[in-house]
Structure 1
């Protein structure tokens, strides 16, 4: 308890120092917040999205939160399986950072698990969206009204991480860990091979069967889904699904001369030009899966993710499309809100819309700590309240279009908290990688890691 009060006192002092800044963000050197305090402040504010901003009945992260109060399709109570999984991990960060007590965190996790046990699922796989008040599926699109294996994989990553965190706790925590384990074992990964094909399918619907017909191949954000599928103790898939499906029988590999701005990309990025895809591809699979020293016959994933990030930044520094505000201190292209709707921003003439998304650089802290800090400080000091709100940095902005919407998305806020903590302490990486099933799954797929015993 003493630790909690000391840390909360520290946070209060940080918040007080922030209020000295004016709303344009300018600050004198004497008022300047330290790097470490700014890091904690950003983690704390962003964590609050999953704590204060959560949907109250389910305890899960809302899909989105608009400060202006304008919600499309009246979806204010819609919660998300993928962003909610990142939120489970954010709660663990909140406990360890002293933002909340362990007791408070465990109670919230109990509420989330109770919701998941009773909410709609399809062969143990959850939909992309639910109504947080009822647990009923909310279709993501016309035929996407059933199981979403990718988003479920992000939730299961969070639950496995939390299970490892609680497994040696008191009796109540051990029981909660067992309930998380039951949810993990219920996911029928083998069902999503559509009768035994050497590939995993993204969706299945009780109303539309396999009509979505989305066989997931690499490289994008979905590697973790294949690793979980190989690791499942109850509904595992053979290693051939990973090698023939995700890795496309080796066609995922780029030739050794493929590079941009002097950085080699070992893997072919789906549907993108030579500069790589949106940066969330370097984040979502790796919130729990530790990329440090992670290697197989296709890539060194730490090197690949770092180079992906460096290319993304270099494109913004080069700024060939001449967008306002791009540069060494303002970079990061990934999927987010855009000036017109939602877009998968990435380097390239067709993908770059002049929109910077803070999660791109902030969730890249493990790969580019110096560059990520430069961007975080620049945005905080230059734009102040225009870009930094109650739940951290707003989702996206464009100086070219003078567009600064005060809106948040769970899927973007979650990796900020988690990847910043992984950079700081490796907390979530160490927990997830300690799961015995994951250890066995990586061995099964011939994936090397210093974390595999």
Structure 2
């Protein structure tokens, strides 16, 4: 089953049931056309074993996260189309030449990439001029060349032409992820040209149309406000699956409600189902989705200490990650390599050359022990002390899981006569998830800059967020 189909199927579950376009630089003040700094042939090895300390963010942890940041930046430079800036969905983990399977562009990955480039420039891995040039080039191509439907962009596309890939829907969530990255870049660059391009892309998205024909005041049969469709497919129309339950869609709804041109009513926010689960006394709102559903919202928003009458969503995500860690630890009898220091899975590749969106709790699929580094990486800003231990331990005890672009997408330690399996690929959005959450944990710049966008602030106020008493 293809990755897109797996994620689409999960979303439909009932709530209850390779040429560099620009070069990396050693410092921000260098000419953007100078030769890039070469990555070391072999990733750096940790200097000492992982140890539990009063804080796990020791010098070795920061060195690891620095390398994660630099190597992720290399991906988004090397694995984007040289003329358009559209980011390829995946690439070989070792940085080798790409075949046809590595030339599909991803709108979500491109949105993540806009934020990655900003962080790369901030840390001196990319010259500011090159950063602005690349982001402006990418946004101009999206604004003027990429195929769209009522402003919604294709999930996958031909990176050179901007035409939607075969059978690819015009996706509401992927469009939202692109806009989130663009809004962050707008604040980072403070460029009139970038501002205008972001406005073009954001303002043409007709969110009301994606309510699937519902007039703004009309509600669904059982009285709840209409919710956004997951997308529109040429030839068949709107997808039946809807964003009607708590998930990564929370970010999309804020962007839709805050739209400067085609906003949907703030009341739609109240129509999202928020089902509560209890795992070992840990209570949290969730749905039947992989761990990333609790992570994406917190890349581009800072909801710490805020609530909307339903939840403190930041603490809710902390609880969900803690429940996930607890569930994983209890699988030690089945999978001896899983313990307090090595845990975590999410939607990822598998040793069976498939893509699986396992989840727990609530449990989705029969997890086979495959580890996904981005599960802990995407939790760095949520459960930092526990998550950095995972990344350090994986790096220390499973060295092949760390290659040219950082952590591979997934790996499965050997057992019962089976050899170790390490994914030969990386996936762009998962690399970026780890890098951006690491940045939020250490400096908070992605979420703090994003929170300066008036559209996002308007939506947060409109749906009733307020400061909670401590």
Give the drift of 1:349: 7.7
Give the drift of 1:52: 2.1
How many Å separate the matches in 1 of 2:118 and 2:467? 24
Residue of 276, 290, 298 corresponding to 2:302: 290
| Cα pair 1:50 1:90 within 8 Å, conserved | yes
How many Å separate the matches in 2 of 1:357 and 1:28? 21
Q: Describe the shift of the 1:445–1:14 C-alpha distance in structure 2 as closer, same or farther (beyond 3 A).
A: same
Residue 397 (1) aligns with residue 426 (2) = no
| Cα pair 1:387 1:406 within 8 Å, conserved | no
Look up the SS of the partner of 1:79 in the other structure: strand
How many Å separate the matches in 1 of 2:65 and 2:428? 19
Residue 440 (1) aligns with residue 458 (2) = yes
Which residue does the alignment assign to 2:62?
36
How many Å separate the matches in 1 of 2:39 and 2:62? 10
Which residue does the alignment assign to 1:170?
none
Listed as ranges, the gaps of 5+ residues in structure 2 are: 1-24, 31-35, 51-57, 220-225
Q: Describe the shift of the 1:408–1:356 C-alpha distance in structure 2 as closer, same or farther (beyond 3 A).
A: same
Give the drift of 1:442: 1.2
Which residue does the alignment assign to 1:126?
153
Residue of 325, 339, 352 corresponding to 1:327: 339
Residue of 318, 333, 336 corresponding to 2:348: 336
Which residue does the alignment assign to 2:176?
153
Give the drift of 1:26: 8.7
Residue of 336, 340, 354 corresponding to 2:369: 354
How many Å separate the matches in 2 of 1:351 and 1:298? 31
Q: Describe the shift of the 1:349–1:425 C-alpha distance in structure 2 as closer, same or farther (beyond 3 A).
A: closer
1:158-197 map, 5 Å: 158-167=181-190, 173-196=191-214
Residue of 406, 422, 441 corresponding to 1:423: 441
Question: Deviations along 1:176-218, whole A, 9 cap, x unmatched?
Answer: 22211221111111110112252111111332112x2111111
Question: Deviations along 1:305-350, whole A, 9 cap, x unmatched?
Answer: 0011111111122216611311111111110111220011222483
Residue of 96, 117, 128 corresponding to 2:122: 96
1:31-430 map, 5 Å: 34-67=60-93, 74-117=100-143, 118-139=145-166, 142=167, 145-167=168-190, 173-196=191-214, 198-210=226-238, 212-244=239-271, 247-248=272-273, 252-254=274-276, 258-265=277-284, 267=285, 269-271=286-288, 277-319=289-331, 322-340=334-352, 341-347=354-360, 348=363, 350-384=365-399, 386-400=400-414, 402-430=420-448
Look up the SS of the partner of 1:201 in the other structure: coil
How many Å separate the matches in 2 of 1:46 and 1:240? 38
Give the drift of 1:101: 1.0
Look up the SS of the partner of 2:466 in the other structure: coil
| Cα pair 1:153 1:224 within 8 Å, conserved | yes
How many Å separate the matches in 2 of 1:86 and 1:14? 22
Q: Describe the shift of the 1:321–1:57 C-alpha distance in structure 2 as closer, same or farther (beyond 3 A).
A: farther
Q: Describe the shift of the 1:153–1:321 C-alpha distance in structure 2 as closer, same or farther (beyond 3 A).
A: farther
How many Å separate the matches in 1 of 2:323 and 2:49? 33
Q: Describe the shift of the 1:71–1:208 C-alpha distance in structure 2 as closer, same or farther (beyond 3 A).
A: farther
Stretch deviating more after TM superposition (343-352 or 353-362): 343-352
Q: Which has the higher helix share?
A: 1
| Cα pair 1:344 1:351 within 8 Å, conserved | no
Give the drift of 1:16: 9.1
| Cα pair 1:43 1:417 within 8 Å, conserved | yes
How many Å separate the matches in 2 of 1:391 and 1:33? 21
Look up the SS of the partner of 1:99 in the other structure: coil
How many Å separate the matches in 2 of 1:412 and 1:405? 13
How many Å separate the matches in 2 of 1:2 and 1:390? 17
Give the drift of 1:441: 1.0
| Cα pair 1:64 1:76 within 8 Å, conserved | yes
Give the drift of 1:38: 1.5
Give the drift of 1:2: 9.5
| Cα pair 2:27 2:126 within 8 Å, conserved | no
Listed as ranges, the gaps of 5+ residues in structure 1 are: 168-172, 272-276
Name the TM-score, length of structure 1 as normaliser: 0.85
How many Å separate the matches in 2 of 1:80 and 1:14? 25
Name the TM-score, length of structure 2 as normaliser: 0.82
Give the drift of 1:60: 2.5
Give the drift of 1:113: 0.9
Question: Deviations along 1:208-235, whole A, 9 cap, x unmatched?
Answer: 112x211111122211111111000100
Give the drift of 1:367: 1.3
